[in-house]
Structures are given as structure tokens and as C-alpha cells.
Amino acid sequence: MLPAALLLLSLAPQTASSAAAQHVHAGIEADQQGHIDQAIAEFKEATEEDPKLASAFLDLGQAYVEKHDYASAIPPLKRALELDPSIRGGHELLGYSLLAQGYADEAASHFEKAHDTAALGISLVEAGRPADAIPYLKEAVSKNPDDPDLLYYLGRAAGLLSRQAFDALESRFPDSARAHQMMAQNYAVLRDEPNAEKEYKAALQAKPDILDVHMELGQVYARAQQWDKAEGEFRIEAQMQPGNAEAFYRLGDALLQQGKVKDARVALERSDKLRPNMPQTLYNLGKAASLDNDPASAEKYWLRVLAVEKGTPLAAQSHFGLATIYRREGKQAEAARQMQEYEKLQIERPSEANP
Amino acid sequence: MTRSITRRELLQRLAALGITAPIFDVNHPQGLDFTHLNSPTPKKYLIETMGGGVALFDYNNDGLLDIFLVNSGHLSNPQPLPEDFDRHEARYWNRLYRQNPDGSFTDVTQQAGLANAGDGNYGMGVAIGDYDNDGFQDIYVTSYGRNVLYHNNGDGTFTDVTAKAGVAAGGWSCSAGFFDFDNDGHLDLFVTRYMVWDTQHSKVCGGEWDTYCPPGEFPAISSILYHNRGDGTFEDVSVPSGIAAQKGKGLGVSFADYDGDGFTDIFVANDGMRQFLYHNNHNGTFSEVGLESGAALTADGKPISGMGTVFQDYDNDGRPDILVTVLPREIYALFHNDGDGLFSYRSLQTGLGELTAASAGWGVGLEDFDNDGWKDMFVAQAHVLDNVEEIDHMLHYKQIPLLALNRDGRFVRADCGVTQAVAGRGAAFGDINNDGRMDVVMTVLGGQPMVLLNDDGAPNRWLSVALRGTRSNRDGLGARVRVNGQIRFCTSSGSYLSANDKRLHFGLGQADTAKVEVLWPSGTLQTLENVRAGQFLTVTEPEKPEKS
């Protein structure tokens, strides 16, 4: 990841012998014409003419970098920094070259000196120090939120950190509730429902009052469409965490799937109170009200969804629900308008996604 | 002194103790030696996984239901042109089994003239109806290739009259059904077609897993409507009727007069898209009203993978409702008929969310298996992908069929008696042993069919009504029959690729008698009072209308 601007630096020669200066100028000219090998030869001549000329070493190193010959770039760049520790671009170029050769720790120290947070974060990830990397990467991402490389490295750092922590958990506390929870999560990701269920239950046996495990186990049941079991787990989590909006949302959803619309409404209303205006909660509240023959409430909730959701599948579903209500009420024009909105957003999905 | 008790007595004693027992006795009747051959290949030709039609009908009018089973054929890897599925080989024949008085069956395929369905035809489904009103049930077999209409000669033999009748269709046909859309007394024919597909344009999907492709990979196609001219020939009226205006991916079809206007409407179960409800405009045309009626999508506005369908009144409100079987992670769709031409999605309220979200359903019936006066649900189940477990550990290819009893409009799982998961496909419903209890024949993809004889111990009463039209079509298809407040629409169609006993079965609970009202397609309303329970009643349409 070499910034283009750095490569375009015009490396003006310092005070130097005229012979060395001539070689430097010739090298720059050759480089500008795309003759890298010729430029390298000229810069080499310059360093031989004047072994104290830091900029010539820097030029030589940069030419190697341009040629992607990072191994050859490292010695002249190091020499340039020995001669002039503050030489412009020296730490960045050496850092990139070292990083490209796998010397991530050493690269990090140069990026740190260059105050290049993005490259420092990346080199720390590569050095296996994700915890150190994350603050730098977060800072870099906040400055360049659309940089896919930075987003990748931030995600990778978080993943590595998570793995390191889980490895420690597993090796040091293998029978703890959290270790079983972690194993269960892994199985759940692999869609291995029986083992996920087993590990979650082991976690609960080790620590019955552990938070979030009932909710996660309920989600395993929900994915397997075992809604009665899911309801049981979500209900326990909601009792344990009466302030947890997600627990009540999931409980409401499980109840709704079983057609227990009145109980679903109670749970979903609680969730909406705890964390207002969550679109999925509002949509399900509308659906539950509709199934409960309460079209006025359904309309209210679906209109609230549309106030916060534009152009999403949930918005499409809300338009469809509203069209159904209006059709039943004989408001044909309104129904048609909602169907138009629905159809604008709706792409009929074939069953590819449904094995 | 001890005596052995019968199975029924045992079930009654268990019921008295509050212990539930299987309703069906899973049976392999003597003589029923059929094996469905679908010839799966690494090419994953879609037709391999879709076949397996079955019909329950009385072809020789001896009062016993016979069984017709559709075979598929031989596929090569790869399948060369011209396509030849070796249907001349006996193992690939469709089969007709005549029921004997002792409950055994005799293979009468060859003597009936049904031996070779044509080498170019890979078999799919079957429709049954007396299209020429001669009192004998005829057979229509659908295929990938050419469909075949067999005329029942009345002497135990059939004649292939496809060319004369003009109903060969072509392409890939799936479910089909006879019905009288213009109430002229002659049965017309509706044929669903799945998609534009052939073996030369097949593909394998699923990446590393090599699976059958989903329907979205292939273009949609219109269904076909044939009008019966009454002279043994049919006219393709798909275009003038408006049926051809809609391109779908039709797998299932069911019929009912959902708005009570006296004309039969059509529901088509489409795979992976919205469902079609064709309203009969009384003038030979249909309007597709699925979206505006609320029977096209789920309550969330999502399309479904419609496969099998049945169009009957599950909640005894007098209006036929629509049930559609689908793939897992969807829910079998129950569209409740609210009247005024509107349907509401009632899958969750009726318990189908719990019962069916992890299942894939094909053949389906709404029949009163425990004779309590409420129509129960039976579904032949299995995933479409034979390797689905490799892709998703939570799903299963072979599944136990679903039996769900109707408890005041909510369905509750019951033990169907099948203990081994199978790749269920077609299902046909009828009272095979004439004991007043509805039985099931379910086909198994690449396997032997299962006969599920109903041995429910409940002491409820029943009535079976057979219709004989005079001014209406002879089968009475399209009649609406009300018995003690329950409604059944007379049809042999519905389910998936299959045809049902055309007799109408009603559970009467504890009632000893019934009031029977028949609204014939001709418009005649016929009423019979104080009909004794526990009988097979034949109702003949009055030559002159009693009341219009």
C-alpha cells in the first residue's frame, strides 16, 4: 500500500558533488521516462560518488520500491535514514519495504515514526498484535471510511483479537460457562444445531444465571424453526433481563410464528418501549395487530416503519400490509398506491436462497 | 377365558385412556408391487426429482377404488437426442392396479392397454375424469414430453385417444385436472406446466454441492386450458380464455367456486413466485386476481415455492380456502377465504408455523380423517434436493409425512403411523376399503408407494356422497355439497400430480342423520333430509331443476 503521492516526490539532491548531482538528475529523468533500471544505475553511481548523500540512497531505495524489488530497497533506505533520520518519506518507504518482506514488527516502528496510522495499524495486525492495531485502524477508518483495505484489516484485527481471547479462555478455563458458550457459538455458525444446543446447555449448567445464553440458544431453535422451544428460551432471557429489548423482540417473534398473536403483541410492545422505533419490531407489531384483527393498530405501526425505513425489504412488506388493510376497508385507491410502492421495491425472489 | 382384541378395539381403549395412537395402518397390500423409477443422474436433470403421480378411482365401476401409478423413465448420463426414456420396458410402465374384494390388488396394466406411455415421455402426473360422460372414468397422464389421454372403453380396457382429442400439450406438464369451466356438462381440462426446460438446456447448480437448479434459473411458461367440444375432441383455449396471458411455474392446480357465482375458478401453485388465482368470468375467459384477492403472496408480501395445493373449506364457514405446500423456511400457505373475493394469509393462526416451517410438502389433502366434522391435513413430505443435508444440517431430504388434525380450525400434529422417513411426492385420497374412513396412497420418489389405511378408533359417524350428473357433467365435478353445515366442492383434482376419489366424504361426529344439499353446476339445488349416516349415498341430479 504505497501512496502514489510518495512515489511522485521530487527528490531534490542535497548539497553534493557535481558528479553525484548529475547522476541524481539523470536518474530522476530516467525514472520519469519509465526507465527504472537506468534510474537505478544512475542512483547507484550517485551513492558511489557521494556516500554521504542521503537523498541519493533514498532515490535508489524508492526506485527499487517502484520495481517491487523490496529486498534490494531496504539497505539503501536504511542507509538514507542513518545519514538523515528526518529525511522526508524515508520511514514510510522503509516501512512499506519491510512490511512487504514480512518484517511487520520492524515496519511498525518506522510507520510509528512517520505517524502513518493506517500503515501502522496494518503492520501491527501482520505482527500478530491486533489489540495494539485496533486503535490505529479505527482512527484510520474514521478518516477514510470507504477504504476497503482498512475495513478489512480492522475486521481482521477484531477477529484475531477475538480468537486470541477465546484461545485463552479455552485453554485456561475449559469447563467454564463462557467456554461452553463460545463452543456453542462456533457450532451455531457451522449450523451444527445438536452440538450448539449441547454446549449452550452445558454453559447453563455451569452457570444458570449467565446472561445471553438463553437468547443464543433460543436463536438456535428459531433457526431450526422449533418455535416452541425458542419461545421458552427467549422468555427466560426476558425474565432475567427485563430491560433487554432484543430479548422481548425475539420472544415476540417466536410467539408470532406460533400464531399466539396477543402474547406476541405484549412482548413486542415491551420491546418497542425499551428501544423505540426499531423497524423490525414495528413491522412485527403491525403484523401481530393485523393477525389479531386490529387493522387500525397495524396501520399505525406500518406507517411508523415507513417513517424510518425507505426502500428496504421491510418497507416493501409494510406497503404490502397497508395495501391489504386498505383493500379490506374498500379504500381501493389507497390500496393501489401502496401496491405500487410495494411493486417498485419488490423483486420476486426465486427460491435459490432456499435449499 | 381370554380373547384377542381387534386393532380398532385397542385404539378405542387407548383413546379412552387419553393415549393417542396412529390413525393410519401403513400397509403394503398384496399385489401392489410398483416401484417408481426416476433414474437420478449426476446431471441433476430437474425432472428426476419432481415425479410420482397417483390416482385413486374406480375404473371398472365395481365399487372398489383402484390405483393408477405414474412411472417416470430411464435417463442417461448425458441424455442424448432424440429423447428416449425407455418407457417400452415393463419396469418403466405406468401401472393400473385393480382392487380385489379381499383388499389385494392385481396389476391389470397390460390387459387394460396402458402398458407403454411412449418412449419420449418421462412421466409426471395424472388426472381423472369422465370426459365423455359415458359413466367410466378416463385417465390423463402428464409428462415431460407428450401427455396422453386414455379413454375408458367400459370393458376394462383403455384406448389412447390423445391425437383425436388434441390434448398432447408438450413441454413439461405437471399437475392437471378435469373441471367444467363453462357449465356445459362436458369436462374441460387444465394442465399446469412447470417451466421452459429440456434436457439439452439443463444445468447443475449449487456450486461445490451439485444440486438441482431452482426454478429461477429457467423461464416461466403458461398453463394450458382445453375446452371440451363434447364430441371427443378438445380445443386449446389458453389464449382466448386469458390463461396464456400469465407465465408461471405451475406445479399444482386445484378448483373451486370461491366466490359462489356458480362458475368454477382455478388456483395454480407456482414455484418460487406469486401464486395464480384465475377468476372465472362466466364468458369463457378468466382474470388472474391472485394479488388483489390476497392469495398470491404471504402476509409479508413474499413469494412462495408453491408445489401442491388443495381448495376446500377447512374451517366450515362455507367458503373454500386454499392450502399450498412449499419448501422449508417458508410455511405451508393457508389462504382463508374471507368472502367478497378476498383471502387472508392464516398460516400462523392455524398453527402451520410450528408444524411446517422445517418441512417441504408435495401432495396434500384436506380430509376428515377422524370423522369429527373438521377437515384434517395430510402432506407427503421430502425436500426437493437429494443432498440437502450436506448443504444445511438442519434440513432433511427424506421426511415423515405430516398428519395434522383440525381442532376448531387450528391444526395439531398427530401420529400418521409412518415411522420411516421417505421422499414423499404424490398423494391421493379416498376410502380404499369402504369402511367409512379416508385413506391415503402416497408415492415415494424412486421407491414403492405407501398405502395408509385409516384405522382410527374414534366412533364418529360418516357419510360418503357420490354424484351422478344428468344435466351437469356426469361426475358432478364442480358441484357444491353441504352436509350438516360442512361444505365440499366436488373435484378429483388437487394435491400434487395426483387425482382423488371423486366421492365426497363427510365426518358427521355423533350425528346419526344428515341434511345433504347439492348445488349442481347446472344451478339445480337438490336437498335430501334425514339421510342415514354410515352409508355410501349416490345422489343423481334431477332431470328437471328442483330449485334454481
Per DSSP, the residues of B323-358 read EE---TTS--EEEEEEETTEEEE-TTTTTHHHHHTT
Tell me what the mean pLDDT of segment A200-206 comes to: 97
What ipTM, to 2 d.p.?
0.88
Contact B273, A350 (CB under 8 A): yes
Is A227 in contact with B357 (Cβ distance < 8 A)? Answer: yes
Confidence of residue B458 (pLDDT cuts 50, 70, 90): confident
CB-CB neighbors (< 8 A) of A223 in chain B: 394
When comparing pLDDT for B80 and A44, which is higher?
A44
User: Which residues are CB-contacts of B505 (< 8 A; sequence separation ≥ 6)?
Assistant: B367, B368, B431, B438, B462, B463, B464, B465, B488
Which residues share a beta bridge with B537?
B465
In the A/B pair of chains, how many CB contacts fall below 8 A? Answer: 104
Chain A residues whose beta carbon lies within 8 Å of the beta carbon of residue B272: 348-351
Query: Distance between CA atoms of B4 and A27, rounded to whole angstroms?
Result: 109
Contact at CB, A259 and B350, closer than 8 angstroms: yes
The CA R_g of chain B, rounded to the nearest whole Å, is: 22
Report the residue from B301, B348, B395 with minimal CB separation from A259. Answer: B348
What pLDDT was estimated at residue A7?
Answer: 41
Residues of A with CB below 8 A from B305's CB?
A: 351, 354
pLDDT at site A232 = 98
Strand partners, B412: B405
> For all residues of chain B together, what is the average pLDDT?
94
Beta bridge partners of B464: B505, B536
**What pairs with residue B413 in β-bridges?**
B404
Distance from CA of B505 to the nearest CA of A (A): 30
Question: For residue B542, which phi and psi values (nearest 5 degrees)?
Answer: -60, 140
With a CB cutoff of 8 Å and minimum separation 6, the contacts of B472 are B180, B183, B185, B478, B479, B520, B521, B522, B524, B541
As a whole-number percent, the residues of chain B with pLDDT over 90 amount to 87
Q: Quick check: B430 and B501 in contact, CB under 8 A? A: yes
Tell if the CB–CB gap between B303 and A287 is shorter than 8 Å: no
Nearest-neighbour CA in chain B from A258: distance (Å): 6
- pLDDT tens column, A245-302: 999 999 999 999 999 999 999 999 999 999 999 999 999 999 999 999 999 999 999 9
Share of chain A above pLDDT 90, in %: 85
Surface of A (78-137) touching B: CB under 8 A: none
Q: What is the percentage of chain B residues whose pLDDT exceeds 70?
A: 95
Q: Which helix (H) or strand (E) holds B487?
A: strand B486-489
Q: Which helix (H) or strand (E) holds A231?
A: helix A227-240
Which residues sit opposite B462 in a β-bridge?
B507
- A192 vs chain B: nearest CA distance in angstroms? 6
Note the pLDDT of residue B300: 94
Contact (CB<8Å) B394/A223:
yes
What is the C-alpha end-to-end distance of chain A, expressed in Å?
41
Which of B214, B272, B294 is facing A324, going by the closest CB pair?
B294
Which helix (H) or strand (E) covers residue A150, if one does? Answer: helix A148-172
Instruction: For residue B358, give the nearest of A224, A259, A350 by CB distance.
Output: A224
Are the Cβ atoms of A321 and B342 closer than 8 angstroms?
no
Distance of alpha carbon B369 from alpha carbon B374, whole angstroms = 9
Distance CA B65, CA B69 (A): 13
Name the DSSP letter for residue B88: T
- Quote the minimal CA–CA distance from B413 to chain A in Å: 13
The reply to whether residue B302 touches residue A317, judged by beta carbons under 8 angstroms, is yes
Element (H, E) at B309: strand B309-312
Shortest Cα distance from A176 to chain B (angstroms)?
27
Neighbours of B217 (CB within 10 A): 17
Question: Is A355's Cβ below 8 Å from some Cβ in B?
Answer: yes
Q: Which residues pair with B141 in a beta bridge?
A: B126, B148
CB atoms within 10 A of CB B206: 18
pLDDT of B1:
44
Closest CA to B252 of B240, B234, B238, B266: B266
Question: Residue B544: pLDDT above 60?
Answer: yes
Interchain CB distance below 8 Å, A227 and B329: no
Give the mean pLDDT of B378-389.
93
Q: What pLDDT does residue A1 have?
A: 40
Residue A272, CA distances (Å) to A275, B25, B145, B296 in order: 5, 50, 56, 31
> Which residues in chain A are contacts of B350 at CB distance < 8 A?
259
Q: For residues B55 and B65, what is the distance between their CA atoms, to the nearest angstrom? A: 9
Cross-chain Cβ contact B300/A258 below 8 Å:
no
pLDDT value at A348 more than 90:
no
DSSP 3-state of B143:
strand
> Which residue matches cell numbers 433460543?
A218
List pLDDT tens digits, range B2-34.
456 665 565 555 555 554 567 899 988 999 999
pLDDT given at position A2: 42
Interchain contact, B344 vs A324, CB within 8 Å: yes
* Distance, CA of B109 to CA of B98 (rounded, Å): 9
- Rounding to the nearest 10 degrees, give the CA dihedral for residues A343, A347, A351, A353: -130
Return the C-alpha cell found at B236: 386449446
For A160-175, how does the pLDDT look when each residue is reduced to its tens digit (9 = 90+)?
998 888 889 888 999 9
Q: How far is A322 from chain B (nearest CA, A)?
A: 11
For residue B106 the three cell numbers come to 392385481
CA–CA separation, B413 and B351 (whole Å): 9
3-state helix, strand, coil in chain A (%, to 5): 75, 0, 25
pTM of the full structure: 0.83
The residue-averaged pLDDT of A103-111 equals 94
Strand B536-540 to strand B461-468: parallel, antiparallel, or no bridges (unpaired)? parallel
Position B413 confidence tier, pLDDT thresholds 50, 70, 90: very high
Task: State how far the Cα of B92 lies from the Cα of A197, in Å rounded to an integer.
Answer: 46
The pLDDT of residue A221: 95
Phi, psi (rounded to 5 degrees) for A316: -60, -45
* Residues B251/B275, Cβ–Cβ less than 8 Å: no
B436-to-A191, B59, B377, B454, B533 alpha-carbon distances in Å = 46, 20, 17, 9, 10
Angle (CA) A65 A70 A73, round 5°: 70
pLDDT confidence bin for B546, thresholds 50/70/90: low
A residues 126-185 closer than 8 Å to B (CB): none
**What tens digit of pLDDT does each residue of B283-339 get?**
999 999 999 999 999 999 999 999 999 999 999 999 999 999 999 989 999 999 999
Most confident among A132-136, B15-19, B386-390 (mean pLDDT): A132-136
Contacts of B357 in chain A (CB under 8 A): 225, 227, 257
**A302 vs chain B: nearest CA distance in angstroms?**
12
pLDDT of residue B428: 98
pLDDT in tens, B122-149: 999 999 999 999 999 999 999 999 999 9
B379, three cell numbers: 402432506
* Residues 6+ away with beta carbon under 8 Å from B416: B22, B23, B24, B378, B400, B401, B402, B403, B452
More confident residue, B52 or A1: B52
For A6, A135, A140, A151, B256, the CA distances from A146, given in Å and listed in that order, are 21, 17, 11, 8, 57
The x, y and z cell numbers of residue B311, run together, are 381448495
Those residues of chain B whose CB sits closer than 8 Å to some CB in chain A are 205-206, 211, 214-217, 271-274, 291-292, 294, 297, 299-303, 305, 327-330, 338, 342, 344, 348-351, 353-354, 357-358, 383, 385, 388, 391-395, 410
Q: Are B117 and B79 in contact (CB under 8 A)?
A: no
Cα A120 from Cα A117, distance rounded (Å) = 5
Confidence grade of residue A11 (pLDDT, cut at 50, 70, 90): very low
Rounded-to-integer distance, Cα A31 and Cα B365, Å: 81
Radius of gyration of chain A (CA): 31
| Mutation target among A191, A225, A293, A314 for the B interface, most CBs of B within 10 A | A225
Half-sphere exposure of B533 (CA within 13 A, CB side): 20
Q: What average pLDDT does this structure show over A79-108?
A: 94
Q: What percent of chain A has pLDDT over 70?
A: 93
pLDDT band at A15 (very low <50, low <70, confident <90, very high): low
pLDDT of residue B394: 82
d(CA A188, CA A177): 16
Select from B211, B291, B393 the Cβ nearest to the Cβ of A192: B393
Calculated CA dihedral for residues A202, A205, A206, A211, nearest 10 degrees: 90
Q: How far apart are CA A201 and CA A180, in angstroms?
A: 8
Cell numbers at B271, concatenated: 414455484
Residue A328 sits at the chain B interface (C-beta within 8 Å): yes
Helix count and strand count (H, E) for chain A: 20, 0
N-terminal to C-terminal alpha carbon distance within chain B:
62
Instruction: Work out the minimum CA distance from B91 to partner chain A, whole angstroms.
Output: 32
pLDDT of residue B11: 54
Nearest-CB residue to B274 (from A223, A287, A348): A348
B54 pLDDT tier (thresholds 50, 70, 90): very high
pLDDT of residue A8: 38
Q: Which of A193, A319, A351 sits opposite B394 (nearest CB)?
A: A193
Chain B positions touching A256 (Cβ under 8 A) are 348
Taking contacts as CB-CB distances below 8 angstroms, the residues of chain A near B329 are 225, 354
CB–CB contact A327 B216 (8 Å): no
B165-187 mean pLDDT:
97
Distance from CA of B161 to the nearest CA of A (A): 38
Tell me, what's the pLDDT at B20? 57
Selected residue with higher pLDDT from B449 and A352:
B449
Kind of pairing between the strands at B24-27 and B276-280: unpaired
C-beta atoms of B392 and A258 within 8 A? no
The answer to whether the beta carbons of residues B343 and B295 sit under 8 Å apart is yes
Q: A180 to chain B nearest CA, in Å?
A: 21
Q: At what angle do helices A193-206 and A177-189 cross, to 10 degrees?
A: 170
Which is it for the CA torsion B303, B304, B305, B307, positive or negative? Answer: negative
Residues 6+ apart with CB under 8 A from A275: A245, A246, A281
Model confidence at A349, pLDDT cuts 50, 70, 90, reads very low
Mean pLDDT of chain A: 91
Query: Tens digits of per-residue pLDDT, B459-513?
Result: 899 999 999 999 999 999 999 999 999 999 999 999 999 999 999 999 999 999 9
Q: Is the pLDDT of residue A189 over 50?
A: yes
